[in-house]
Structure 1
Amino acid sequence: MQKIGILGFGVVGKSTLNFLKKIQSPLEQFDPKNIKISVFDQKDLTSSEIAEIESFGAEYFTSKDVSLFLQSNGYIIASPGVDLSAYNKFANKFICELDLFAQVFNKKTVAITGTLGKTTVTNMIYKITSSFTDFAVNLGGNIGSGMLNLALKNNDVDLAILELSSFQLEPNTKFAPDLALFTNFYPNHLDRHLTTKNYFDAKWKIFEHQSSDQVSIIPLSLFNLYEDLPSKLATLKSQICFISSNPISDEDKERIKKFGKMVFFAEKENLYFGSFKAENFVSFKIADLNNLPSSGFLENWVLILTTFYLLAGNCNFLNDEKWTEKLISTKFNPSVDAYRLEHFANFKGIDFYDDSKSTVIQATKAALDKLINNKRPVILILGGLDKGVDRSPFFKDLQNIPQENLKSIFCLGKDPQKFGGYKTFPTLQDLVDEIMKIAKSGDQVLFSPGGTSFDFFKNYKHRGDLFKEVVREYACKGESVKS
């Protein structure tokens, strides 16, 4: 009997335990019918979590028993959130959930990664494929079901849509999605990956195992974001499909001709498909973009529509002016706008926006630019942990924005030096109290931290919910708030 360990007992660990107890067919590494399972987490688990482990017939190792856990198991399935660099001595024992998923799930998969926008893109691809095709679609990865729970539904699903982080992709040695999307790239998670190259290489693993009948969807803008992209593209075996939110330039055409097979691009409120016929670049219109929602970023929409077109062969749903009203809604499918530049209140003529999902400065900059375009003053709230990324150039650039555009900057944190010297507040309540002393009708208050939420909060949703709660409670003390 082989001993199999589960390292980490969050969403992934729990879905792994369920998977190992229910899977019937042999896996490459072991036969699930002949294993003994144990679970270890770096933190002490609750009594209910321990009871859950024991109800599956598995053994629980306390946080003090890490050495015994690592030594006694033949294979260990690690959660993505666990930094395995501390366990290099046991590297040959580790298996990642993506590799197990790849062994079991044999239906079509679409996988999305990137620094910004991947949740929005994943969610909308899921919504439109569920609403406007006959596919039985399931959502997994960072959102929706744990991937191994999804793998157990192999017979009931036609298509899996997966959002994947660098942590999930980094140990991948097998997983090869039919369609793989890369939204964009900016330095992030350097506290874990240490260098920008390591972070990019982890993301790039979404493409590395694809074959010639699978498609890699890559923005042309990535050439400007990562200088070694040409050498990376040269190693891919897949069909490379570029996308762009802009008309195709001569430089773009050279890149498409050298590396790619096709391109989808937006021009004059239309979506086009382009490719080379011999030496000539030819294109034709696929869809009218006039019926897209006004919120959101065009490059994200081009990614979404390209994916849908490659799956369904058309984008005919856009012909219906009311297509957004026909999108399905599920428990896995919160509003695309939730926590991402979400306008949630107007109090005394002041608009409040929750952009708590902004965990990198590029997301904050995009949100700030969007509100500045409204031609009304913005009060910006920053915060969060920097994840090893130098945010000082961004803080310095903020000083160059005219005050009629950026009225004031407040920071949620304890150390002003970590926020370019801007005034910091230890709690959201203190921060909102101070903002309301200077905010006037017509102002826009933007909560877009530009850092991860784990300084004071469970996650970005918890952070955003508390901000909204504080604002609404403040409003209740005065006149009613319009949500």
Structure 2
Amino acid sequence: MRQLIDFPYKHVLVLGLAKSGEAAAKLLHHSGVQVRVNDQKPYEENPQARTLGDLGIDVITGSHPMSVLDGIDYVVKNPGIPYTNPIVDEAMRRELPVVTEVELAYRLNGDNMIGITGSNGKTTTTTLVYEMLKANDKGTKLAGNIGEVACEVAQTTSEKETMVVELSSFQLIGTETFKPHIAVFLNLYEAHLDYHKTMEHYAWSKSQLFAHQQANDFLVYNADQEIVRELVASANSQRVPFSLENKQPLGIWCDEEFLYYQDECVIALKDIMLAGKHNLENIMAAVGAAKLSGVTNKGIQQVLRTFSGVEHRMQFVKEVQGRNFYNDSKATNMLATKNALEAFEQPTILLAGGLDRGNALDDLGPYLKNVKAMILFGETAPKFKQLAIENGIETYDVVDNVKQAAEKAYRISEAGDVILLSPACASWDQYRTFEERGDMFMDAVHTLK
């Protein structure tokens, strides 16, 4: 197990546990750093806190007293804890570094890291890059939002292996020296404004992916988005654009038949299994990262001819009496749901709803032309009901959860219909994760008769 070497801080507070906090605390302790852990959940109900306590780590649970900052020179916080948290706010007032565990992962393995972010497509792109490296027999490990905690994976990653890391804005905002050797910036759309408050702050958070890159690093980016082009203009790394709209002599692009890396034909579009315009953008970004990592066209082709998608992202579940069920629970914003709706020409029953972040839903209207009914749940159900009415969708209903939604949709459907779970909202009002939401939907579909 690798340790942090020349780590300049001696007394570290880990604020908030869950998987990332536990992993960070264990790494720091293993590296000889004095660690204190603070978590809201009471000790008796907190197995992670008890595990860390057994290691001799100072554990304070049940509340967040300001005294947890006494003697501390560095804070590692759970990504979900907002910067308005009193402990975080006070730490910043004292000018203490406040980071997330990906900063520790970089300090262990930064020279061999591919970091991928964007508002949409992160999981698909990260998986594609990982599979492409594997297909070319390059040692690689998967980490971040998509897999295991990054700083935990980094401890067992050798100098010859590459970490492929999916990164959220919540993680990136808490970085100090972090810089992946290859950064991939997919896109930027309005999201997570309940956390970031402004689009400007959200964009700045995403830009931390490449803020510390240097001239020998690479940045693969979406040249079709003006906001992305403006953000990457300040990067010191070598910029590698991808575009669906224009030929990119220094990057990745397509014509009507083929996908190219610079002037090199990589694969015929007809040979790519993964469908959808948005997925073609993800594929181009993945090809850029793979080629920069030395993956051959043969390895890329092998993956793209067989890869059909990731779990909970436009995942075909089952055909029941001529109805095709799709699980797109990972669609936690409107853009993802727009992309899902665009993929179908058949009559569609849309299952949607979830956490209300204050967003209007009007932009979904033009994408509802094939939607014959809507089954709604969660905090945003009333907003979706109004959206249905405004767009002339006469069949709609509000249910308690996605299990009921699947059952109701089946009852009102006909052979040839698509029944699509694509919530356009985060899951946290009813479910711990979008995976839990998607699993409930799939379980319900498999019990239909």
TM-score range (shorter-chain normalised) is 0.7 to 0.9
Distance 2:204 2:154 in 1: 26
1:38 aligned to which of 32, 36, 45:
36
Structure 1 unaligned regions, length at least 5: 24-31, 257-261, 275-282, 328-334, 479-483
Please report how far the alpha carbon of residue 192 of structure 1 lies from its aligned counterpart in structure 2 after TM superposition: 0.4
| Superposition deviation, residue 383 in structure 1 | 0.8
Question: Deviations for 1:250-281, whole angstroms, at most 9, x for unmatched residues?
Answer: xxx7xx8xxxxx2210113212234xxxxxxx
The AA in structure 2 aligned to 1:20 is L
Compared CA separation, residues 414 and 20, structure 1 to 2 (3 A): closer
The aligned residue for residue 213 of structure 2 is 210
Structure-2 change in CA distance of 1:233 and 1:461 (3 Å) = closer
**Cα gap change, 1:470/1:114 in structure 2, threshold over 3 Å: closer, same or farther?**
same
Equivalent in 242, 260, 283 of residue 272 of structure 1 = 260
Instruction: Please tell me whether the aligned partners of residues 50 and 60 of structure 1 are also in contact (alpha carbons under 8 angstroms).
Output: yes
- Note if contact 1:380-1:406 (Cα within 8 Å) is conserved in structure 2: yes
Match of 1:29 in 2: none
Runs (4 or more) in structure 1 with deviation over 4 Å come to: 322-325
Instruction: Identify the match of residue 377 of structure 1 among 338, 343, 347.
Output: 347
**What SS is found at the alignment partner of 1:148?**
helix
TM-score normalized by the length of structure 1: 0.82
- Equivalent residue for 1:28? none
Cα–Cα, structure 1 residues 9 and 314, in superposed 2: closer, same or farther, change >3 Å?
same
Structure 1 or 2, whichever has the larger Rg, is: 1
Q: Is the 8 A contact 2:349 2:420 kept in 1?
A: yes
CA–CA distance in structure 2, aligned partners of residues 4 and 173 of structure 1: 15
Contact 2:318–2:325 under 8 Å retained in 1: yes
Counterparts of 2:157 and 2:298 in 1: how far apart (Å)?
A: 29
Aligned partner letter, 2:19: V
Instruction: Kindly indicate whether residue 156 of structure 2 is the aligned counterpart of residue 150 of structure 1.
Output: no
- Residue in 2 aligned with 1:76? 75
1:377–1:442 contact (8 Å) kept in structure 2: yes
Task: Provide the C-alpha distance between the structure 2 equivalents of 1:347 and 1:313, rounded to a whole number of angstroms.
Answer: 41
TM-score with structure 2 setting the length: 0.87
Give matches, 1:14-413, under 5 Å.
14-23=22-31, 32=32, 35-44=33-42, 46-86=45-85, 87-91=88-92, 92-93=95-96, 94-133=98-137, 135-155=138-158, 157-223=160-226, 226=227, 229-248=228-247, 262-274=250-262, 283-295=263-275, 297-312=279-294, 314-318=296-300, 336-372=309-345, 376-388=346-358, 390-397=359-366, 401-402=368-369, 405-413=370-378
Q: Secondary structure at the match of 2:40?
A: coil
How big is each residue's C-alpha offset from its partner over 1:275-325, in whole Å with a ceiling of 9 and x where there is no partner?
xxxxxxxx34344343221435211111111211111163123566x9756
Residue of structure 2 aligned with 1:6, choices 7, 10, 14: 14
For the aligned residue pairs, the C-alpha RMSD in angstroms reads: 2.4
Contact 1:361 1:391 in 2 (8 A): no
* CA pair 319-156 structure 1, distance change in 2 beyond 3 A: closer
Is 1:449 the counterpart of 2:447? The answer is no
Report how far residue 217 of structure 1 moved.
0.6
Work out whether residues 37 and 58 of structure 1, in 8 Å CA contact, stay in contact via their aligned partners in 2: yes
Per the TM alignment, residue 156 of structure 1 is displaced from its structure 2 partner at its CA by 5.6
Q: 1:199-222 CA deviation, whole Å, 9 max, x = no partner?
A: 111001111111111111111222
Query: Counterpart amino acid of 2:90?
Result: K
1:141-187 Cα offsets, whole Å, 9 max, x none, are: 21222121123224365211111100111122211111100111111
- Corresponding letter in the other structure for 1:472: H
> What is the distance in 1 between the residues matched to 2:48 and 2:100?
22
Amino acid at match of 2:60: F
* Counterpart amino acid of residue 300 in structure 1: N
Number of residue-to-residue matches in the alignment: 424
* Secondary structure of the structure 1 residue equivalent to 2:239: strand
The 2-side partners of 1:409 and 1:302 are apart by: 33
Structure 2: which amino acid aligns with 1:310? L
**Matched position secondary structure for 1:384:** coil
In structure 1, give the amino acid aligned to 2:216. Answer: D
Q: Which amino acid is 1:44 matched to? A: P
Distance in 1 (alpha carbons) for counterparts of 2:46 and 2:442: 32
**% same residue:** 25
Task: Tell me the SS of whatever aligns to 1:431.
Answer: helix
- How far residue 435 of structure 1 moved from its aligned partner, in angstroms, is 2.0
